[in-house]
Amino acid sequence: MFSKKANTIFDRAIKTYKTNSAIEQKCDNPFDKNKDLLSFLLFEKCWIDATQWAYEDVIRDPNINATDALVLKRKIDASNQVRTDTVEFIDGYFLEKYKDVSIETNAKINSESPAWAIDRLSILALKIYHMHLETVREDASETHKGNCKKKLDVLLEQRTDLSTAIDDLLDDIANGHKYMKVYKQMKMYNDDELNPVLRASKK
């Protein structure tokens, strides 16, 4: 099943990223994009998410100075753009894979594309990793660890449900029961012509 492969790759990406304490690291992707493009993209996707998770932790430091916060905000914005691009690459992979499927006349479109569901699965893997750490923290109270264990159980159940939903969606697309579209990003705040502040800054 696809989700089993994806979850295994996500866990591997997180483990690899966490072997180094640096936030910004070159992605140590073990997959060859020319031989296994999907695995390559999944690993890249989770690496981006792991990096952004670390950024988000740091920017919430109540003592961070304004200059550092602004620099970090720009990095988060750039990371979000790369994340979105990677999601679209993954959807492009599935569009190519299923391009010759005969779609049923009563086929329906899903509320989200496969890759955006996979995006949530990658982030869920990070939540599970970090919540597990809270259950074994030596400096935490038993109450804290117990509460985090309950949350971890919910996250694990959520991963099971989301994994099943993704597998079902891909199966439906493969069999023509559903079809997919990819709406390319229409982000306005990064566009020099669509963001009025950026547009004004060019004058």
What are the residue boundaries of the structural domains of the chain, listed by start? 2-192
For the segment 47-102, what is each residue's pLDDT rounded down to a tens digit? 999 999 999 999 999 999 999 999 999 999 999 999 999 999 999 999 999 999 99
pLDDT reported for residue 188 = 62
Buried b (16+ CB within 10 A) or exposed e, 174-192: eeebbebebeeeeeeeeee
Tokens of 172: 């439906």
Q: Give this prediction's pTM.
A: 0.90
What angle is formed at CA 55 by the lines to CA 50 and CA 60, rounded to 5 degrees?
Answer: 130
Cα-to-chain-centroid distance, residue 192: 26
**Amino acid at site 133:** L
pLDDT reported for residue 101 = 97
pLDDT lower than 70: segments of the chain: 185-191, 194, 197-199, 203
Q: Cα(first)–Cα(last) distance of the chain, in Å?
A: 54
pLDDT reported for residue 187 = 62
pLDDT reported for residue 85 = 93
Cα–Cα distance for residue pair 102/178, rounded to 1 Å: 10
